[in-house]
Structure 1
């Protein structure tokens, strides 16, 4: 987010060019889709993605949906199997999100995937959104453009009222259609619906030629990232460390002497952007005991602490 006032951009060539430039510079742009307005950032830019969480006041790093202009672009970032191709052919562009294996070297921020090896993607059925995505020519992470916990926005005025002083621009693409969230389908292993949405299970089952697991099924896989220790590095983690014990590696925050530091200046947005990368670096170092400096438990600090608590949770 820059210090300049938020821009309200028209959905014309000039407005879309300006919006794409803001994203390339690491800014935040809200834009309409057929479901709701999304708050977009370059999905490859850690700091920009952290800015989404800061602007929304989002309490935890849930995996974000990445919006892409077409199937060919989507295949640059994910590995498709036969089921995924069938669903994409039938329902894209449209209100379906597919969870697929992340392609090696795709360059997507770990904040987008919440450190997982899967990616949630969709191709929206909205002319302005697709024109914007084509103009930007890259992956756009975009949860709903509203403060966390508030009603999802279905027009530009909703975005302005909720986030007007926290983002760089909104493309006024008019009102959304029905405003129903996308159906999320995991195609990792046996297809399963992770979130009900605008495309009913019956239509998905008909497309696949067999029934699909739905959220009411007791044996349906849970959404990624919900297990208590899901975000754990290989080493044991000790939180709120005021000093380092023998054999520990310090993951620091603020003005401390640490092997790795989330943010030497104590900036929570910077710390959020570095969190998952630092955990991966600790694994690469072979750290077996990890001490973590105290992190303030406000703003993005709540999200950082949520993931660190999961990382420190007892394991089976």
Structure 2
């Protein structure tokens, strides 16, 4: 079972686990978060694994300073003004990614935007001490109520993680507001700890609701990560001219004829495969093939998430909404 440590005694233990690629449940002002190093694919894969029945939705990357945020995202004057007003605090800004960013693609789910937030309290000090952003969705199993106390986290996730940092009940108690800033427009993707009215007052711009507009978050679209090449799933034979996304030690028939090969995990480790998925798909896409053949991948554990993402990658492009 997870060890529960008071926040004033937990910094060193949390840092050691994060540096080793583990995940830690931490208090924020909104809800407790399940935190991992946002630059480490293994750590982010552990987040999805611990939450259970995972989907490769984008995660919020939590930062300790504006300088850290600007390493990963492009701020226009409006988004900078909102950050100055509401950070640290329960507002998440969805912003364009910088080129050559260091955030692992599992965090952004392959999008060209990143969701950033600057938390208060223990989380801020932990990020500053680590020197890297933390990806941190709510610390609960998928589909369950978000945890606002350390006891709730331990009850839900205690058999899946090693440390819960107890900072007392979270003061906000609901997740952060998620706001997309795009060309001087503000779109509310999720209501939360900062109201639309507060945002409008600070920005001088009307906040638009997402409503029935096309969904932009991965995991909600029929086709999400769509490489230039077509994607052919459950391939047991590789045709001439195809690239191969392999898994495990046994190859599909004709693999020797593949134009390019990337193996998600030669040992069949689903966590390793999850961490490699987006980068390996992009690598094969750069080989200029018409089709990427994908060997069968088990559906258990993280395999469910891997197959979900691959299914969306293989969906007809006119299904993208």
Per-residue deviation, 1:229: 2.3
Q: TM-score, normalised by structure 2?
A: 0.92
Aligned residues: 308
Alignment partner, residue 35 of structure 1? 30
Structure 1 length normalisation: TM-score?
Answer: 0.93
Residue 291 of structure 1 deviates from its aligned partner by 0.9
* Alignment match of 1:9 (pick from 5, 29, 34): 5
CA displacement at 1:120 relative to structure 2:
0.4
Shift of 1:230: 2.1
Partners of 2:131 and 2:144 lie apart in 1 by 30
- 1:97 and 1:182 in contact (8 A); partners too: yes
Q: Does 1:209 align with 2:204?
A: yes
Which consecutive aligned stretches of 4+ in structure 1 deviate over 3 angstroms post-superposition?
A: none
**Quick one: distance in 1 between partners of 2:6 and 2:198?**
36
Q: 1:81 to 1:42 in 2, by over 3 A?
A: same
Unaligned 5+ runs, structure 2? 256-260
1:158 and 2:158 are equivalent in the alignment = no
User: 2:313 maps to what in 1?
Assistant: 311
1:117 maps to what in 2? 112
Structure 1 residues 287 and 7 mapped into 2: Cα distance closer, same or farther (>3 Å)?
Answer: farther
Superposed CA deviations along residues 238-267 of structure 1, whole A, max 9, x for unmatched, are 111111122222111112335111111111
Q: 1:66 and 1:314 mapped to 2: Cα distance?
A: 30
1:60 aligns with 2:73: no
* In structure 2, C-alpha distance between the alignment counterparts of 1:20 and 1:119, rounded to whole Å: 24
**Aligned ranges 1:1-316 → 2 under 5 Å:** 6-12=2-8, 15-125=10-120, 127-189=121-183, 190-216=185-211, 218=212, 220=213, 222-225=215-218, 226-257=220-251, 259-316=261-318
Q: Return the alpha-carbon distance in structure 2 between the equivalents of residues 58 and 64 of structure 1.
A: 15
* 3-state secondary structure, aligned to 1:270: helix
Contact 2:235 2:293 in 1 (8 A): yes
User: 1:41, 1:52 within 8 Å by CA — same for their partners in 2?
Assistant: yes
Give CA deviations for 1:5-45 in whole Å, capped at 9, x if unaligned.
Answer: 63323322x52022112111111111001111000000000
For 1:135 and 1:174, the matched residues in 2 are separated by 21
**How much has 1:221 moved relative to structure 2?**
5.3
Unaligned runs of 5+ in 1: none
Root-mean-square deviation over aligned CA pairs: 1.5
Cα distance per residue 1:80-128 (max 9 Å; x no partner): 0011011111111111000111122221100000011111010113x22
Q: Contact 1:124/1:130 (CA < 8 Å) preserved in 2? A: yes
